Amino acid sequence: MKIPFVDLHSQYLSIKSEIDSAIAEVIAQSAYIRGPRVEEFENAWASTLGVKHCVSCANGTDALYIAMRGLGVMPGDEVITTAHSWISTSETITQAGARVVFCDTDYDTFNIDPKLIESKITSRTVGIIPVHLYGQPCEMDAIMAIAQKHSLWIIEDCAQAHLARYKGRLVGTFGNAATFSFYPGKNLGAYGDAGCLVTGDDQLADWTATFARHGGKGEHVMEGINSRLDGLQAAILLAKLPHLRSWTESRRRVAALYTKSLASLTHIETPFVAPECEHAFHLYVIRTDRRDDLKRQLAEASVSTSLNYPKALPFYPAYAYLNHQEKDFPVAYSNQSRILSLPIYPEISGAMINHVCEKMAESLQRIPTTASVRVEATSALS
Ligand SMILES: *Cc1c(COP(=O)(O)O)cnc(C)c1O
- What residues contact 203, with CB distance under 8 A and at least 6 apart? none
Q: How far is the CA of 153 from the centre of ligand 1 (A)?
A: 20
Which of 194, 210, 242 finishes a domain? 242
Is 130's C-beta closer than 6 angstroms to any atom of ligand 1? Answer: no
Within this chain, do residues 69 and 170 fall inside the same structural domain, yes or no? yes
**126 alpha-carbon distance from chain centroid:** 22
61 alpha carbon – ligand 1 mean position (Å): 6
The pick from 95, 160, 228, 341 for probing ligand 1's pocket by mutation, whose C-beta has the most ligand atoms within 8 angstroms, reads 160
- Tally the C-alpha atoms within 13 A of residue 146's C-alpha that lie toward its C-beta: 23
Q: What is the CATH number of the domain that holds 259?
A: 3.90.1150.10
> Domain range for residue 102?
8-242
> Last residue of some domain: 242, 275, 303?
242
Which string of DSSP letters, residue by residue, matches 109-167?
Answer: TSSB-HHHHGGG--TTEEEEE-B-GGGPPP-HHHHHHHHHHTT-EEEEE-TT-TT-EET
Q: pTM of the entire structure?
A: 0.95
Does residue 180 share a domain with residue 63? yes
pLDDT tens sequence for the chain (382 residues): 999 999 999 999 999 999 999 999 999 999 999 889 999 999 999 999 999 999 999 999 999 999 999 999 999 999 999 999 999 999 999 999 999 999 999 999 999 999 999 999 999 999 999 999 999 999 999 999 999 999 999 999 999 999 999 999 999 999 999 999 999 999 999 999 999 999 999 999 999 999 999 999 889 999 999 999 999 999 999 999 999 999 999 999 999 999 999 999 999 999 999 999 999 999 999 999 999 999 999 999 999 999 999 999 999 999 999 999 999 999 999 999 999 999 999 999 999 999 999 999 999 998 776 544 444 444 444 4
**DSSP SS3 for 326:** helix
Say whether both 30 and 159 belong to one domain. yes
Q: Are 89 and 131 in contact (CB under 8 A)?
A: yes
CB 166 within 8 A of CB 174: yes
The tally of domains found in the chain comes to 2
For residue 157 and ligand 1, the question of a CB distance below 6 A is answered with yes
> What DSSP element (H or E) covers 29?
helix 16-29
- Strand extents, DSSP E, 215-326: 277-278, 284-287
| In-domain check, residue 29 | yes
